[in-house]
Amino acid sequence: MRSNPNASTAGSEFRISGNNGISKYPAKSHARRIAEGIKSPDGVIVLEGEHKAYYAHSDQARHFRQDRYFYYITGCNEPNCKVTYDIAKDKLTLWLPRADPARIFYDGRGSTPEEAMEKYDVDEARYLTPATSTREGRPESLTFMLEAHKRASQKIWCLKRQDILQASLMDSFLLKNAMEACRAVKDADEVALIRKANNISSKAHLEVLKNLRHLKSEPEAEGIFLGTCITHGAKEQAYGPIVGSGPNAGILHYNDNNEAFGNRQVLLIDASCEWQLYAADITRTMPLNAKNPGHWPSKESETVYKAVEAIQEACIKALGPGKRFINANWLATHMAIDALLDLGILKGDHMEIFHQGTDRAFFPHGLGHHLGLEVHDMPPPTGQEMRFWAKFDFAGQHAAFAAEYALQRQALPQFLEIPERWIENNFGLKQSVSMKPCTIESPPLEPGNVVTVEPGIYFNKFILDTVYLKDPQHKRFIDEEVLARYMPVGGVRIEDDILITEDGYENLTGALKGEDMLRAIRGEDVEL
């Protein structure tokens, strides 16, 4: 039940088995990798799991969602637990709450230490309190835990927003950086879990496609999607499902999912389940066409879909070890501008539009994000790297990229200009976790990274009316007559999850898209 002491710190060889033959989540391997990142010969890492809590003025428990940092180092999805990792001793201890015997029949109970040793890849599992105590006062718990380690005076690492420890004890920056560096590089076990989440989610997307011709509303589609995930054992969605028809497909985080299809042209479903806390993140956009199911109901919807499809395919191919995600994002942006010019929605000069940022009226988000224990997973740390990237030759990089792209499309030489908007504000979303791989300071991709690739083109009346068509600097690039024909399309986004491998990438998402998707809607035989 102990992890193999001879194993290296890399990937899948850490997959170990309990006596019952069930594979365990590689918690110990994660603890060791984190300790390597901290670069300290001793000290104790202390992390606290999520507590069971109740809604105010209610006897109903809040939805329990385990703290991801805690899970990463324990594999334990139970409430009210803590964990310590003694670096010098290489000893990982899971601390469990004692159940109240009077409440077990009503509330159930967590694992006993014996059960925890069977389930989790830890060296030791103990109760948080001595047998004589029935309460788990937090300061007492800490003292108790640290006494067990006989290292109370030594260095202790924990994370902010965990109230078990006083600030004076914390060195959260180092630990957070080390954990983010580890989490960004998935081992084989983690990839397997993301793959499984993808497989179930893809089945749920397929179930919607197969039934689409009979559906009349967003909630019907959402019901099929969620029901299918649960049926396959995936109870938790990785994020609030977006099931938007027509104009609702143009609202980025639409989640009302309560409208009838009417004569709308497309249905956008951005929905995926978790598998053992690991997320998938898949978006599909499909035609709504009562008269001719499985065919695009208009030239406009078809051309927008195909434009987004082409962007997504090109961007996926642009990924690989050592490549930088921002290059793919640049590619998406320039291809979107070209597509919108081709459609006639945009008019004028490519680079003028780019510098003005008018394309953001139609493609206002980044190309993707890391994926793992969070749907917007922790990116690799930029704290140390910031100093490096601050000196990075951004202008030169973009110039090189632009020259290559211009060559491919025989575009104009002004493509080589430096786009200030990228330097200035990285979309103005520098702080957002979900934007991290798209920023200029993000390090190059490496094997084990899992990122989404999700370009989109949207026709959002609110954003057009209140921002872009109001501003002469943008309005001059938009052909409102052409745009009016495209408004009913609402929006198209296509999103897959990409694993970076040693020699390129692997698309983990099997959900049908393109022609296969249309065939599934038509009721033809398809395979996932």
Write out the residues near a second copy by the rule CB under 8 A. 50, 55-63, 65, 67-69, 102, 104-108, 159, 161-162, 219-220, 222-224, 226-233, 235, 239-240, 251-254, 257-258, 364-365, 374-376, 428, 432-434, 460, 462-463
Least separation in angstroms between residue 306's CB and a second copy is 25
Cα dihedral 175, 83, 50, 508 in deg (nearest 10): 70
Query: In angstroms, what CA-CA distances link 525 with 368, 517, 520?
Result: 31, 11, 7
Amino acid (one-letter) located at 172: S
Query: What is the distance between the alpha carbons of residues 173 and 425, in angstroms, rounded to a whole number?
Result: 24
* Beta carbon nearer to a second copy, 15 or 376: 376
Least separation in angstroms between residue 106's CB and a second copy is 5
Query: What is the distance between the alpha carbons of residues 195 and 206, in angstroms, rounded to a whole number?
Result: 16
Query: What is the distance between the alpha carbons of residues 464 and 477, in angstroms, rounded to a whole number?
Result: 12
Query: What is the distance between the alpha carbons of residues 211 and 193, in angstroms, rounded to a whole number?
Result: 28
Least separation in angstroms between residue 374's CB and a second copy is 6
Least separation in angstroms between residue 382's CB and a second copy is 16
Is the Cα torsion angle 519, 524, 525, 528 positive or negative in sign?
Answer: positive
Residue whose pair of structure tokens reads 């006993």 in the numeric block: 112
Secondary structure class of 391 (helix, strand, coil): coil
Is the Cα torsion angle 278, 126, 50, 431 positive or negative in sign?
Answer: negative
* Beta carbon nearer to a second copy, 411 or 433: 433
* Beta carbon nearer to a second copy, 3 or 248: 248
Least separation in angstroms between residue 289's CB and a second copy is 21
* Beta carbon nearer to a second copy, 224 or 249: 224
Is the Cα torsion angle 206, 209, 215, 221 positive or negative in sign?
Answer: positive
Least separation in angstroms between residue 333's CB and a second copy is 17
Written as six digits, the tokens of 93 are 């201890």
* Beta carbon nearer to a second copy, 50 or 496: 50
* Beta carbon nearer to a second copy, 6 or 20: 20
Residue of 370, 364, 379 whose CA lies nearest to 253: 364
* Beta carbon nearer to a second copy, 200 or 346: 200
Least separation in angstroms between residue 377's CB and a second copy is 10
Least separation in angstroms between residue 312's CB and a second copy is 21
* Beta carbon nearer to a second copy, 332 or 361: 361
Least separation in angstroms between residue 321's CB and a second copy is 26
* Beta carbon nearer to a second copy, 427 or 505: 427
Cβ atoms of 467 and 415 closer than 8 Å: no
* Beta carbon nearer to a second copy, 327 or 356: 356
Least separation in angstroms between residue 233's CB and a second copy is 5
Pairing of strands 283-287, 82-86: unpaired
Amino acid (one-letter) located at 490: G
The secondary structure of residue 413, as a DSSP letter, is G
Residue of 447, 129, 420, 458 whose CA lies nearest to 268: 458
Q: Which residues contact 87 (CB under 8 A, 6 or more apart)?
A: 35, 38, 40, 41, 42, 43, 44, 45
